[in-house]
């Protein structure tokens, strides 16, 4: 199997690094192009044998599966460039939420999947969110999920839920890191403890909490009940958080969805879609 990557910025390079680190792909199986070739050359230095393509068309011509790792509003130009080169048996994978599978199916003859990755795949963890276009068959799904299974836990979702699920799996690492950053900063200021020790400790705590929620069978409310001894310290602090953060998560979801709607509307215009 040969796999192409168009766009080797943050996500394209992360996926490529993870697939190689996990043993899913050898560099020789990978074909990559980027607007500025410098980024692909750097990847080829890191992964000897990786095929540097000087154009996106070259990447498409050489690949069975192609991951399109550009930003939402960069898709249409890219599709116009490669559209005539794709073959019906090829699988093109979009990794961005606002570009709809029907947008891509309306202008391309190949098979379309939408898979939203997460920075967590760098440590071969986290969920990848899978949505499939109408031309993807059972064999294609197995192939994609086997590949993604090397670096993540593939989860099939409805495309209508792509934003809320991406909020958790893809934006979540940034949101949780923000929370930890603020907490650590306050701890450093108020107690004089070293930032590095605390950051390491916070990471271990997060890892353990993640395991309790996945392998451990706990629900978030059960964990709170188990830790917060009645009349104890955690209960006091949880009451404070409950009061201080009242409404914040509704606002957070409204914010991510408003930005998604804005990008979706622009993508609809770019792809000539008046449906939504």
Ligand X SMILES: NC(=O)C1=CN([C@@H]2O[C@H](COP(=O)(O)OP(=O)(O)OC[C@H]3O[C@@H](n4cnc5c(N)ncnc54)[C@H](O)[C@@H]3O)[C@@H](O)[C@H]2O)C=CC1
Ligand Y SMILES: O=C(O)[C@@H]1CCC=N1
Summarize as ranges the residues that interact with ligand Y (CB under 6 A). Answer: 166, 170-171
Q: How far apart are CA 106 and CA 237, in angstroms?
A: 53
Query: How many residues belong to the site for ligand X (CB under 6 A)?
Result: 27
Interaction with ligand X in 255-274: which residues (CB under 6 A)? none
Q: Which does 2 bind (CB under 5 to 8 A by kind): ligand Y, ligand X, none?
A: none
Residue nearest ligand X, CB atom distance: 9
- Residue closest to ligand Y (Cβ): 170
Residue 128 makes CB contacts below 8 A (sequence gap 6+) with: 115, 116, 117, 118, 121, 148, 151, 152, 153, 154, 155, 169
Q: Give yes or no for residue 172 binding ligand X (CB under 6 A).
A: no
Q: From the CB of 205, what's the least distance to ligand X, in Å?
A: 22
The span of 111-119, 198-206, 244-252, 254-262 binding ligand X (CB under 6 A) equals 111-119
DSSP result, 30-66: EEEE-SSHHHHHHHHHHSTT-EE-SSHHHHHHH-SEE
Supply φ then ψ for residue 124, to 5 degrees: 55, 45
| Complex with ligand Y: residue 171 or 198, whichever CB lies closer | 171
For residue 213, the minimal CB distance to ligand Y (Å) is 21
Binding ligand X by CB under 6 A: which of 90, 100, 101, 170? 170
Given the complex with ligand X, which of 71 and 146 has the nearer CB atom?
Answer: 71
Task: Decide whether 4 or 98 has the Cβ nearer to ligand Y.
Answer: 98
77 near ligand X, judged by CB under 6 A: yes
Piece of 10-18, 84-92, 104-112, 155-163 that binds ligand X (CB under 6 A):
10-18
How many Å is the maximal CA-CA distance in the chain?
A: 68
- DSSP helix, strand, coil percent of the chain (3-state; round to 5): 60, 10, 30
Closer by beta carbon to ligand X, 122 or else 228: 122
122, 17 in Cβ contact below 8 A?
Answer: yes
Which whole-number Å values give the CA distances from 113 to 34, 55, 83, 121, 125, in the listed order? 21, 22, 16, 18, 21
3-class DSSP state for residue 9? coil
Residues that bind ligand X (CB under 6 A): 6-12, 33-36, 39, 56, 69-72, 74, 77-78, 95-96, 116-119, 170
């Amino acid at each position: 199997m040969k796999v192409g990557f168009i766009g080797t910025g943050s996500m394209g390079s992360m996926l490529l690094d993870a697939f190689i680190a996990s043993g899913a792909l050898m560099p020789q199986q990978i074909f990559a192009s980027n607007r500025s070739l410098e980024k692909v050359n750097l990847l080829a230095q890191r992964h000897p044998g990786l095929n540097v393509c000087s154009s996106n068309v070259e990447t498409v011509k050489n690949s069975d599966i192609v991951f399109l790792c550009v930003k939402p509003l960069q898709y249409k130009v890219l599709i116009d460039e490669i559209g005539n080169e794709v073959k019906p048996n090829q699988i093109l994978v979009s990794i961005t939420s606002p570009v709809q599978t029907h947008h891509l199916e309306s202008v391309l003859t190949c098979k379309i999947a939408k898979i939203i990755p997460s920075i967590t795949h760098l440590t071969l963890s986290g969920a990848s969110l899978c949505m499939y276009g109408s031309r993807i068959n059972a064999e294609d799904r197995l192939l994609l999920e086997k590949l993604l299974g090397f670096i993540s836990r593939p989860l099939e979702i409805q495309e209508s839920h792509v934003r809320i699920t991406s909020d958790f799996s893809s934006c979540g690492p940034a949101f949780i890191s923000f929370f930890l950053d603020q907490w650590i900063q306050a701890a450093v200021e108020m107690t004089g403890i070293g930032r590095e020790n605390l950051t390491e400790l916070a990471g271990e705590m997060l890892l353990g909490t993640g395991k309790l929620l996945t392998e451990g069978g706990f629900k978030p409310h059960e964990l709170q009940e188990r830790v917060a001894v009645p009349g104890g310290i955690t209960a006091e602090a949880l009451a404070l958080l409950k009061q201080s953060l009242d409404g914040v998560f509704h606002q957070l979801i409204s914010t991510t969805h408003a930005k998604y709607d804005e990008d979706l509307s622009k993508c609809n215009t770019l792809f000539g879609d008046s449906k939504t």
